[in-house]
């Protein structure tokens, strides 16, 4: 087997950093680069320095650079010099892409016609190459990838889509921030536009600029002084200019433009939970792309990433539109209230009562709790800002009520218009503070002082900075909930940006105490807390600051810093960590991934280093500094000398490294460098670590990193985020352990079982799922699926669809005889493509075409038995997911989960005990990785059945009581004759839910004795729970803001467990919030709409989609989806209606439907207690006098592992358009009449279902 001998990085980036020889001023060289038979010589144009040996000095190469350079872009070169690559500088457009300023906006759609991609000829020897043989990547290949997959009408599709999303969000900020100070709104709009440009930048730059923008964005609304706001605005302008320059550079740099495809899209926060998982998968594709060893693999991966990114951006755009429509209705209602208030005021003839009426109508006893009341206050403020006529009217009314008071020497009432002259700081308490000012007019008293302790203030500011970072990076609007998005750790790039932003604010604020100093201190403290958290995570120490605790830790550090010498020794030590002033010439570090990608492609990031040299300084005029290799001038400025030129350097305390920077351009990316002590040469430092040096990694953390790397399911960045550390230790361990850096699922390195390959081929032939979805389903990479697809000649390659095939698909759709899957098989395209063609055609779907034929019903049942999800079955058969669910219920057909033999199950657990990875187990047993993980989680190793609750209520109750007494699971299992998994299921689910409820009751102030009596558990056990419940913290732990975030998450498809974890609340609290969400949603549905939906869902021979029902009822699809779920749970019950008077031919009386709401908290407590006592669900329902379906639902909610986890909800679509009026044919008319007569559905409702 021929194996490439990959040496150290040998590009001119390394050659550049050499100290000139004192005698002849020539670069020193040492060593030699060995080359194997698979080495590739560089083009002659890349060797302008002759045959000079460009080997890497011994002892110098970093493992990160070595590993990434060798595996990501294997390109063995010699003598690549500096001037030889200047032709590839980023000043020129590449691949025919038009150069455009990133701030310019296009009004047209970016989803035009894609550049046609030439079909690549399949290589006959594709699977027979040696494992380690690699093909170099080149600038030409990057250009081809961009042209084939990221160019639409001559523009970069990815960048344009990010810009359009940013513009949409920016356009909506004015409405979202109604009633806020105009200058604050304008600043937030600028920040949102900046976010759109940041989405294209390399990671380290994006982090730095985002953190700096977050610091400015936090300070500006809180600072009310016009001079300081002007200064902040100037700093923001400089930041915008720097980001704009970098965004334009990326658009014209083929390497960074291609890598930006793998970046998260602008507006990640707008995605639902499933799509956010796909964003993580996009990051995994980046790793696959960097690890791929030939152009075919890179092409496959890049195509999949481009397709996935395009889908995510479309979902975000649709969600922004939907939210905008929802907000329009809410603000319309609020403005209607303002109109009503002013109308009533004008009708009032008594001046005093008229003036008081406005204040009373705007009065809020507890601002922030009533969304409509909050919006009315904001809308009234905005009306005053916009309308000079209203301001004059209010001042006139003020004069009319104040004149008589002044005549009697009584102080005049306060003016409403004065509020505009003294708007409160635009903080998170803006609505409360603004409402207090209106209340002050009404009461004629000063509004409340909501001052808080210095420690709480520091924590609050740190939390605002942390939120600001998330908002900038994820495209969140200023007032949107953020609880599910707050980062738990901050990478070095963000910490550097925080320090830089703190320095800027310090320059503006000066020495005087001001809010800017406080925000700057909070930012520095947050960076320090994040560094401490990462160090603790690396060392596997308990108490590491994560999530909300990160802000709390930063608050404590800032508070101790303020205390100064008066603080104790520990407090002074904590504050000393942030005492040093950060350098105002700090800038972002050059992204290591981008740097190495350019290096291996024979190009340079950000242009030549020569541009960084100071032309006015010569090394001979400098003297040696205090540090080895450092030169200084008379002013103390520091330099390094290279090739006879002087380069400015600074020492970065945050990352413990020297950086080359461009004087006068502090926001331009900077090169981290270090002096090699052996060769005395300067070299790129690719191992930038934590402040003060990287701490030792614990053996526990190291083992976890190795395990996750070997599993290959997470990207390196995702592994780092999961463990709360930076990516450098992950890359370092990966190389130390010699974990091969090749695409983990390449056909050359991974043995696919025949069963897996047959399943992949079947899914490809089915045409339902994309390659990305098949890869996720089977637990492999998209490149693997692509190779199997090519090997079996399945489907068309690329995005171009020949007109002949499109016409054939359109004709088959018009005929209406075949399902989507059948049309896809007939035309050799995917079902997704068929769906897109159907949408483009705007076909009218008649009701009779929605009949469920016996063939379709049997097809659905067969696919259920095959274990497909409801989403997959719906896409393949062309029926709705609700219809699939109904057929499953009617035929008692349930999705198969365990389709493995007892022998295979035994083998799975044996291999697991031997320490094998899921992939190794799957290979050995001959099943998929997904099946292996399912067996791990849900199968009893002894009985080969699904585990958890296969026992009687009496034994379940006994198990709970024995666990309460302190017995372990093994003892309980032995005493009661139960499987250990059953006991663990009881402990992990039912008991946890009950304990969660007990903790919630304790937090609300209930005594331990009362809680013990309510839940029928021992006071001694409750006493144990009290240790984890802080006093008087219920309102602090869960606020109205948290509640809004929970409702937002439920709407996006998060489970109760997700909400509990993200918000840091108990499972029981999440359960009660889920009930509240269900109740609010169902209460928004009128009785007629409920009847229509339930009757339509009950038609056995028809299939209606969620969109059909939404259009017919004029309800949002998100609401209809909740109604469908409640129907499936059996919580919509029919009640006979009164007979309808009329002739015998009159429409029969139809049943009406009612929704069964969840139990109250008190009833749930009683029901759970009854379950503990061993009562049957029927007896509990009789005892509570509640329907059995509600008790059953509580039981299922309390025991979630009994339920088969169904497909996650789809992304909420835009608001449905108004139904179209069409003329029905006689055949359609007869069918409508027949349905109306048979079902009792309204004629208008059925008619509206005829067309989409």
pLDDT (tens digit per residue) in 671-685: 888 887 787 777 777
Place of tokens 């000066």: 510
More confident residue, 657 or 462: 657
Residues 80 and 45: their CA atoms lie apart, in Å, by: 9
- The predicted model gives 278-290 an average pLDDT of 83
The whole-number pLDDT of residue 451 equals 40
55, pLDDT greater than 50: no
More confident residue, 208 or 1060: 208
Question: What single string gives the DSSP state of each residue in 5-18?
Answer: ---S--SHHHHHS-
454, pLDDT greater than 50: yes
Q: Spell out the residues 6+ positions from residue 836 whose beta carbon is closer than 8 angstroms to its own.
A: none
More confident residue, 1180 or 427: 1180
For residue 264, CA distances in Å to 201, 273, 345, 437, 721 come to 10, 14, 51, 42, 15
31, pLDDT greater than 50: no
More confident residue, 112 or 608: 608
The whole-number pLDDT of residue 719 equals 83
* CA angle in degrees (0–180, nearest 5) for 782-784-786: 70
Q: Are 976 and 989 in contact (CB under 8 A)?
A: no
Pairing of strands 671-675, 682-684: antiparallel
756, pLDDT greater than 50: yes
For residue 998, CA distances in Å to 36, 226, 788, 1001, 1004 come to 68, 52, 54, 5, 10
- The predicted model gives 1120-1140 an average pLDDT of 76
Per mean pLDDT, which range of 354-368, 648-662, 772-786 is the poorest?
A: 772-786
More confident residue, 1161 or 617: 617
Per mean pLDDT, which range of 341-345, 431-435, 949-953, 986-990 is the poorest?
A: 949-953
List, for residues 848-869, the tens digit of each pLDDT value.
445 677 878 888 888 777 767 6
- 845-872 b/e (C-beta count within 10 Å ≥ 16 → b): ebbeebebeeebbebbbebbeeebbbbb
What is the share, in percent, of the chain residues with pLDDT greater than 70?
A: 61
The whole-number pLDDT of residue 368 equals 66
The whole-number pLDDT of residue 389 equals 93
Residues across the chain: 1252
The whole-number pLDDT of residue 134 equals 56
- The predicted model gives 730-737 an average pLDDT of 78
Structure-derived torsion over alpha carbons of residues 74, 80, 83, 88, reported in degrees to the nearest 10: -20
- The predicted model gives 263-287 an average pLDDT of 83
**Confidence tier at 992 by pLDDT (50, 70, 90):** low
Q: End-to-end CA distance of the chain, in Å? A: 60
**Confidence tier at 480 by pLDDT (50, 70, 90):** low
More confident residue, 1003 or 61: 1003
Q: Are 1009 and 1001 in contact (CB under 8 A)?
A: no
- The predicted model gives 175-204 an average pLDDT of 91
The whole-number pLDDT of residue 457 equals 59
More confident residue, 747 or 696: 696
1068, pLDDT greater than 90: no
910, pLDDT greater than 70: yes
The whole-number pLDDT of residue 1064 equals 66
Question: What single string gives the DSSP state of each residue in 1113-1150?
Answer: HT--HHHHHHHHHHHHTT-EEEEPPPPPPS-TTSPPPP
- The predicted model gives 1134-1153 an average pLDDT of 59
DSSP lists the bridge partners of residue 640 as: 647
What is the share, in percent, of the chain residues with pLDDT greater than 90?
A: 9
243, pLDDT greater than 80: yes
723 Cα distance to chain centroid: 17
The whole-number pLDDT of residue 584 equals 53
The whole-number pLDDT of residue 262 equals 93
Q: Are 823 and 834 in contact (CB under 8 A)?
A: yes
More confident residue, 559 or 110: 559
**Confidence tier at 1016 by pLDDT (50, 70, 90):** confident
The whole-number pLDDT of residue 1120 equals 87
Average pLDDT of the chain, as a whole number: 70
Structure-derived torsion over alpha carbons of residues 383, 387, 389, 394, reported in degrees to the nearest 10: 40
The whole-number pLDDT of residue 16 equals 39
The whole-number pLDDT of residue 259 equals 94
- The predicted model gives 272-286 an average pLDDT of 80
Phi then psi dihedrals of residue 684, to 5 deg: -60, 135
Predicted TM-score (pTM) of this structure: 0.62
110, pLDDT greater than 50: no
1014, pLDDT greater than 90: no
More confident residue, 130 or 1041: 1041
More confident residue, 60 or 179: 179
Residues 1168 and 1016: their CA atoms lie apart, in Å, by: 10
258, pLDDT greater than 90: yes
507 Cα distance to chain centroid: 34
Per mean pLDDT, which range of 321-335, 553-567, 871-885, 1134-1148 is the poorest?
A: 1134-1148
Place of tokens 């499936």: 1128
List, for residues 190-230, the tens digit of each pLDDT value.
999 999 999 999 988 888 888 888 888 888 888 888 888 89
More confident residue, 713 or 351: 351
- The predicted model gives 818-833 an average pLDDT of 74
**Residue 368: both structure tokens together:** 């922030």
Residues 108 and 327: their CA atoms lie apart, in Å, by: 24
Residue 331 CB coordination number (10 Å): 17
1241, pLDDT greater than 90: no
751, pLDDT greater than 60: no
């Amino acid at each position: 087997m021929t194996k490439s001998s990959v040496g150290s990085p040998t590009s001119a980036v390394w050659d550049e950093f050499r100290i000139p020889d004192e005698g002849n001023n020539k670069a020193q060289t040492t060593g030699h680069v060995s080359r194997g038979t698979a080495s590739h010589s560089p083009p002659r144009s890349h060797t302008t320095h002759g045959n000079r040996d460009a080997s890497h000095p011994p002892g110098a190469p970093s493992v990160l650079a070595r590993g990434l350079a060798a595996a990501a872009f294997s390109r063995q070169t010699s003598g690549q010099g500096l001037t030889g690559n200047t032709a590839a500088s980023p000043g020129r457009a590449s691949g025919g892409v038009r150069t455009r300023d990133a701030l310019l906006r296009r009004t047209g759609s970016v989803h035009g016609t894609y550049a046609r991609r030439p079909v690549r000829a399949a290589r006959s020897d594709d699977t027979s190459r040696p494992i380690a043989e690699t093909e170099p990547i080149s600038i030409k290949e990057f250009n081809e990838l961009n042209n084939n997959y990221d160019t639409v009408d001559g523009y970069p599709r990815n960048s344009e889509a990010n810009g359009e999303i940013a513009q949409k969000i920016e356009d909506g900020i004015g409405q979202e921030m109604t009633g806020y100070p105009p200058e604050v709104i304008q600043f937030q709009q600028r920040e949102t536009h900046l976010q759109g440009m940041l989405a294209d930048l390399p990671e380290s730059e994006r982090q730095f600029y985002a953190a700096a923008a977050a610091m400015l964005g936090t300070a500006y609304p809180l600072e009310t002084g016009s001079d300081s706001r002007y200064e902040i605005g100037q700093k923001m302008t400089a930041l915008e200019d720097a980001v704009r320059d970098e965004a334009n550079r990326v658009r014209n740099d083929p390497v960074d433009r291609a890598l930006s495809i793998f970046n998260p899209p602008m507006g990640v926060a707008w995605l639902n939970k499933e799509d956010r998982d796909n964003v993580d998968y996009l990051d995994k594709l980046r790793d696959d792309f960097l690890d791929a060893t030939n152009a075919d693999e890179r092409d496959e991966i890049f195509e999949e990433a481009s397709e996935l990114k395009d889908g995510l951006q479309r979902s975000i755009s649709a969600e922004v539109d939907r939210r905008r429509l929802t907000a329009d209705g809410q603000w319309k209602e609020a403005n209607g209230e303002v109109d009503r208030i002013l109308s009533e005021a004008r009708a009032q003839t008594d001046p005093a009562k008229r003036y008081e009426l406005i204040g009373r109508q705007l009065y809020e006893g507890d601002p922030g709790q009533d969304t409509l009341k909050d919006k009315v206050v904001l809308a009234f403020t905005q009306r005053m800002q916009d309308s000079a006529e209203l301001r004059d009217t209010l001042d006139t009314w003020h004069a009319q009520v104040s004149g008589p008071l002044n005549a009697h020497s009584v102080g005049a009432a306060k003016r409403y218009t004065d509020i505009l002259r003294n708007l409160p700081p635009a903080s998170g308490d803006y609505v409360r503070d603004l409402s207090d000012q209106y209340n002050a007019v009404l009461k004629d008293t000063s509004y409340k002082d909501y001052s808080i302790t210095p420690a709480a203030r520091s924590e609050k500011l740190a939390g605002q900075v942390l939120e600001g970072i998330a908002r900038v990076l994820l495209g969140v609007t200023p007032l949107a909930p953020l609880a599910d998005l707050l980062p738990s750790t901050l990478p070095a790039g963000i910490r550097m940006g925080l320090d830089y932003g703190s320095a800027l604010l310090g320059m503006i604020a000066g020495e005087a105490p001001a809010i800017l100093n406080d925000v700057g201190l909070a930012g520095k403290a947050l960076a320090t807390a994040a560094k401490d958290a990462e160090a603790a995570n690396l060392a596997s120490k308990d108490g590491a600051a994560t999530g909300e605790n990160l802000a709390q830790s930063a608050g404590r550090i800032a508070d101790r810093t303020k205390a100064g010498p008066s603080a104790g020794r520990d407090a002074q030590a904590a504050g000393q960590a942030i005492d040093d002033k950060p350098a105002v010439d700090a800038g972002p570090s050059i992204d290591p991934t981008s740097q190495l990608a350019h290096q291996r492609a024979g190009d340079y990031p950000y242009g030549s280093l020569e541009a960084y040299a100071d032309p006015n300084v010569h090394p001979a005029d400098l003297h040696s500094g205090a540090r080895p290799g450092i030169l200084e001038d008379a002013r103390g400025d520091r330099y390094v000398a290279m090739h006879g030129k002087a380069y400015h350097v600074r020492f970065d305390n945050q990352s413990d490294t020297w950086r080359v920077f461009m004087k006068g351009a502090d926001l331009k990316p900077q090169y981290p460098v270090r002096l090699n002590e052996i060769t005395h040469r300067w070299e790129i430092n690719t191992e930038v670590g934590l402040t003060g040096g990287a701490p030792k990694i614990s053996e526990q953390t190291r083992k976890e990193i190795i395990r996750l790397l070997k599993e290959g399911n997470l990207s390196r960045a995702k592994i780092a985020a999961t463990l709360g550390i930076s990516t450098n230790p992950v890359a370092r361990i990966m190389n130390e352990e010699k974990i091969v850096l090749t695409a983990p699922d390449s056909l050359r390195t991974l043995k696919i079982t025949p069963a897996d390959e047959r399943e992949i081929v079947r899914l490809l032939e089915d045409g339902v799922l994309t390659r990305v979805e098949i890869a996720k389903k089977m637990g492999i990479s998209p490149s693997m699926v692509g190779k199997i697809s090519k090997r079996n000649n399945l489907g068309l390659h690329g995005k171009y669809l020949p007109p002949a095939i499109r016409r054939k698909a359109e004709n088959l759709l018009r005929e209406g005889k075949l399902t989507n899957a059948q049309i896809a098989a007939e035309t050799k395209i995917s079902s997704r493509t068929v769906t897109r063609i159907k949408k483009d055609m705007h076909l009218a779907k008649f009701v009779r075409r929605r009949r469920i034929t016996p063939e379709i019903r049997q097809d659905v049942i067969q696919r259920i038995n095959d274990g497909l999800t409801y989403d997959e079955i719906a896409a393949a058969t062309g029926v709705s997911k609700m219809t699939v669910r109904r057929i499953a219920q009617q035929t008692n057909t349930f999705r198969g989960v365990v389709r493995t033999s007892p022998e295979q199950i035994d083998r799975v657990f044996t291999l697991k005990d031997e320490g094998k990875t899921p992939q190794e187990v799957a290979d050995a047993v001959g099943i998929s990785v997904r099946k292996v993980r399912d067996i791990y989680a849900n199968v009893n190793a002894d009985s080969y059945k699904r585990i958890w609750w296969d026992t009687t209520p009496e034994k379940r109750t006994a198990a709970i009581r024995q666990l309460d007494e302190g017995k372990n699971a093994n003892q309980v299992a032995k005493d009661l004759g139960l499987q250990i998994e059953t006991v663990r299921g009881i402990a992990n689910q039912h008991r946890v839910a009950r304990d969660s409820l007990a903790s919630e009751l304790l937090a609300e102030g209930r005594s331990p004795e009362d809680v013990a009596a309510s839940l029928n558990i021992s006071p001694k056990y409750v006493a144990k729970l009290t240790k984890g419940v802080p006093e008087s913290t219920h309102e602090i732990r869960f606020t109205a803001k948290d509640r809004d975030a929970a409702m937002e998450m439920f709407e996006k498809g998060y489970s109760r467990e997700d909400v509990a974890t993200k918000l840091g609340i108990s499972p029981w609290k999440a359960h009660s919030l889920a009930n509240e969400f269900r109740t609010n949603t169902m209460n928004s549905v009128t009785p007629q709409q409920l009847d229509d939906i339930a009757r339509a869902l009950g038609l056995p021979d028809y299939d209606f989609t969620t969109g059909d029902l939404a259009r017919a009822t004029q309800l949002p699809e998100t609401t209809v989806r909740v109604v469908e779920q409640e129907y499936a749970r059996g919580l919509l019950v029919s009640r006979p209606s009164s007979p309808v008077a009329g002739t015998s031919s009159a429409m029969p009386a139809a049943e009406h439907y009612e929704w069964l709401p969840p139990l109250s908290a008190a009833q749930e407590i009683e029901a759970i207690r009854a379950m503990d006592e061993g009562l049957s669900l029927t007896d509990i329902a009789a005892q509570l006098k509640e329907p059995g379906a509600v008790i059953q639902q509580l039981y299922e909610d309390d025991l979630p592992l009994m339920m088969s986890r169904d497909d996650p909800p789809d992304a909420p679509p835009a608001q449905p358009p108004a139904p179209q009026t069409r003329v029905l044919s006689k055949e359609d008319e007869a069918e409508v009449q027949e349905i109306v007569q048979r079902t009792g559905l309204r004629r208008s409702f059925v008619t509206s279902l005829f067309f989409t």
